[in-house]
Amino acid sequence: MNILEFREVSKFYNQDSLGVCDLSFSVKKGEIVALAGPSGSGKTTALNIAAGLDDFTQGDVRLFDQSLQNLLPHEVLNLRRNDVGFIFQAYNLFPVLTVLENVEYPLALKGVRFQERIIKAKECIREVGLEGLENRLPSELSGGQQQRVAVARALVSEPKIIFADEPTANLDTATAEKLLLLFRELNDKNGTTFIFSSHDPRVLKLADRVIVLADGRLMN
Ligand SMILES: Nc1ncnc2c1ncn2[C@@H]1O[C@H](COP(=O)(O)OP(=O)(O)O)[C@@H](O)[C@H]1O
Ligand SMILES: [Mg+2]
């Protein structure tokens, strides 16, 4: 079953700025797929569109077999809160919140009770290997550890699909590979689908499949 499908999707940011063009691809449930391509090739645009964070100009995007255009804004928001995790390139952690508070935040948005939030957040923190660091602030962590907090935050609501925009861009090779192995572990255990962008050949080889973009178009 396809969990995500792009059908001839184009996005123009404005008259002379093309994000993606005629992009068609699909991702099956449980796959780990990488979007590759040089800077400016449309990776971020494609991920943002897929996650319902950004709109598009032409074509059709189906997420969980629902056409994103046919959903109302609050339905897209619900889908994102319940079934989609997103890991941003710059982590986007709240600097004044502790690790635990950052990770439980998506559950607070969903109205989950405090006790349950704490239990689930601690579980995810353990899963990404950050047990014991719950009360640290992001500024007291290394880049790799901050990235793991971002992963735990994406995991906490048990999404079916996780999008990660260049999750290894700021990490050394060993830490980057560990992060990809963590994706694989979570994929094995929970069946979570992962779509990440990268231009690092060392992490691309850890994906099940690589989709290559150039100038907003599909290369392979
Ligand atoms: N907010 C924006 N406004 C105008 N053009 C944009 C915007 N974001 C991206 N683009 C353009 O869209 C194209 C794809 O960019 P992007 O998706 O960020 O690529 P990548 O993530 O692969 O580096 C680039 O030509 C870029 O300049
Ligand atoms: Mg990008």
pLDDT, tens digit (0-9, with 9 covering 90-100), for 194-214: 999 998 887 898 899 999 999
Q: Whose CA is nearest to atom 9 of ligand 1?
A: 19
d(C-alpha 81, C-alpha 77), whole Å: 6
The full set of domains in the chain, from first to last, is: 2-218 (3.40.50.300)
CA of 216 to the centre of ligand 1 (A): 9
pTM over 0.95: no
Q: Are 13 and 19 in contact (CB under 8 A)?
A: yes
- 49-99 confidence digits (pLDDT tens): 999 999 999 999 999 999 999 999 999 998 888 899 999 888 889 999 999
Question: What lines the ligand 1 site, CB under 6 Å?
Answer: 13, 17, 19, 37, 39-45, 216
Report which DSSP code applies to 202. H
Cα distances from 69 to residues 2, 10, 27, 36, in angstroms, run 17, 13, 19, 26
| Helical ranges in 59-172 per DSSP H | 73-83, 99-109, 114-127, 143-155
Position 127 pLDDT exceeds 90: no
Say which residues have a Cβ less than 8 Å from residue 81's Cβ, sequence separation at least 6: 106, 109, 110, 157
Band of the pLDDT at 215, cuts 50, 70, 90?
very high
- Tell me the ligand closest to 35's alpha carbon: 1
